[in-house]
Chain A
Amino acid sequence: MQIRKVLLVEDEEDIRKVAQISLQFRGGWEVSLATNGEECLAQALSDLPDLILLDCMMPKMDGYEACRRLKQDPVLRHIPVIFLTAKAQETEVRKGLSLGAIGYLTKPFNPMSLVAEIQQILTNQEKAR
């Protein structure tokens, strides 16, 4: 699947910046940003991105709730969602996958290989179909 636009949802400003640069630099992708689950839903509706990278622990609305709502929305439900999570929450995020996300990436991620890991998840997903 061809990715052009990505929505990156992450509350930590510095980590958001590093991930944004990494996606632009390594993937050549257009990146829009959100800092919590509520902003994610609004931004997704206005941008209709090809992919959503969603942090799990965020203020206002966390990533799990945002994912649940994305998957209930008839316009947004087809957009693939990948969780970004701290290593310590790995067990929790495995449960979060039942909400409809296609995979997860653990932080700290290596910005030089982030795009490759995302593409691996997308490829696995297409094969599984």
Chain B
Amino acid sequence: MPAHTRNEIGSMSDTSANPLTRAENILDGSPLGVLVTDANWKVRYANQPLLEAVGASLEDLVGEHLLLLPGKTHRQDSLGELLHYFTHLTLSPPEKIEMKVVPVQVPEKRFIRVQVSPFRPAQSEGGYLFLFADATREGEIDEMKSEFISVASHEMRTPMTSIKGSLELLLGGYGGELPTETAELLGICLTAVDRLIRLINDLLDIAKIESGKMQLHMGRMNVVDSVKKSMRSLRSLAEANRISVAAEQSENIPEVLADRDRIEQVITNLLSNALKYSPPESVVRVRVCAVDNAVRVSVSDQGPGISPEQLNKVFDRFHQLEGAKKGTGLGLTISRALVEQHQGRIWAESEPGHGSEFHFELPAITGE
């Protein structure tokens, strides 16, 4: 729709005098949907392409809270995923530009790339700028890739299980006592198969997360129990590397609503990373504490630390730090996705030469 037929934003007579209106007219010609909210997520502006896409007028949207938008549009679209993403944003507001490809049903499946940037102009109050672009092709290719990984991993897991079982029987003496070197070679096979199985399981987790098929079995739980369980499962790894693991907790840790197995997976991942990067005779600390309506778990090590430029990338897929050999490069990516699916957040702090500290927080169950 050409800008001069519109009358939602001010009168046309002052177009040249009002720089804001002029900027809005330019934005109406953009192929991107543009939405601006104030710092409290109330809509201040939406450009014409966005209004047309959602079938709403500017009056419908201005002043409305971001979370109420999907209900304000005139089309009967299922925008649940988008709403879910908006909820995530309002709970943990982005501090720099954040981008995500979100699937929506409108009514056929499409993907939208949402880019959110906070702005804090000097004179007026701050807010958020949203840019929406169609990313259906990109989203479909990504889905096909996840589907492929999922099918391929499933097909690989069964033969791996048979190989592992056969090796364990042979090493366990089923064929009689083995010459030392034969046992050593079979031991190498078993270690390699174990690693492949871990990789396959990680790939399956990633595929599930990326296709939105990761289902959480939520229940009330105490994070401290999961920390204890993870510590028990990693005791032999710690002892083998001569590293002591110290656990601390503040008093009155509230319960959280979470998937017990998955939270344990996150803690085990952080703890085993800390053990892998720790020098012998050092200490790994696990702390659980309550912070403003959340429970925080922190794992710190006395390893080599992570440089600032690496620190941004540690949660990326297949990113491994120098010296890492035994991992899949997917553990932290999975941990981040799991924590975020619990409406929590995860981050890392480090100073090269002074160890690293990884934290995650889950919303606490408050009140009764």
Contact of A21 among B158, B174, B197 (CB under 8 A): B174
Query: Whole-angstrom distance between the alpha carbons of A107 and B162 in the complex?
Result: 10
A104 to chain B, nearest CB (A): 15
A-B pair count, CB < 8 Å, reads: 38
> By the criterion CB–CB under 8 Å, are A18 and B174 in contact?
no
Within 8 A of B (CB), among A1-32: 12, 14-15, 17-19, 21-22, 25
B210 to chain A, nearest CB (A): 17
Is B94 part of the binding interface, using a Cβ–Cβ cutoff of 8 Å? Answer: no
> By the criterion CB–CB under 8 Å, are B169 and A12 in contact?
no
Is B326 part of the binding interface, using a Cβ–Cβ cutoff of 8 Å? Answer: no
Given A91-B217, A108-B164, A108-B197, A21 and B169 contact (CB-CB distance below 8 Å): yes
> By the criterion CB–CB under 8 Å, are B172 and A112 in contact?
yes
Residues of A within 8 A of B160 (CB): 108
Which partner residue on chain B sits nearest A94 by CB separation?
B217
Is A110 part of the binding interface, using a Cβ–Cβ cutoff of 8 Å? Answer: yes
B164 to chain A, nearest CB (A): 6
Contact of B169 among A15, A91, A107, A111 (CB under 8 A): A111
Given A91-B217, A108-B197, A14 and B162 contact (CB-CB distance below 8 Å): yes
Query: Whole-angstrom distance between the alpha carbons of A5 and B356 in the complex?
Result: 55
> By the criterion CB–CB under 8 Å, are B162 and A15 in contact?
yes
SS class of chain B's interface: helix, strand, loop or mixed? Answer: helix
Is B182 part of the binding interface, using a Cβ–Cβ cutoff of 8 Å? Answer: no
> By the criterion CB–CB under 8 Å, are A18 and B166 in contact?
yes
> By the criterion CB–CB under 8 Å, are B168 and A110 in contact?
yes
Residues of A within 8 A of B174 (CB): 21, 25
Residues of B within 8 A of A112 (CB): 168-169, 172
Query: Whole-angstrom distance between the alpha carbons of A108 and B197 in the complex?
Result: 10
Within 8 A of A (CB), among B159-204: 159-162, 164-166, 168-169, 172, 174, 197
> By the criterion CB–CB under 8 Å, are A15 and B161 in contact?
yes
B169 to chain A, nearest CB (A): 5
B160 to chain A, nearest CB (A): 8
> By the criterion CB–CB under 8 Å, are A14 and B159 in contact?
yes
Residues of A within 8 A of B197 (CB): 108
> By the criterion CB–CB under 8 Å, are A111 and B165 in contact?
yes
Query: Whole-angstrom distance between the alpha carbons of A22 and B166 in the complex?
Result: 9
Query: Whole-angstrom distance between the alpha carbons of A109 and B168 in the complex?
Result: 10
A107 to chain B, nearest CB (A): 6
Given contacts A108-B197, A111-B169, A112-B169, 8 further A-B contacts (CB under 8 A): A14-B158, A15-B165, A17-B162, A25-B169, A107-B161, A108-B161, A108-B164, A112-B168
The interface of chain B, by Cβ under 8 A from chain A, is 158-162, 164-166, 168-169, 172, 174, 197, 217
The interface of chain A, by Cβ under 8 A from chain B, is 12, 14-15, 17-19, 21-22, 25, 91, 107-112
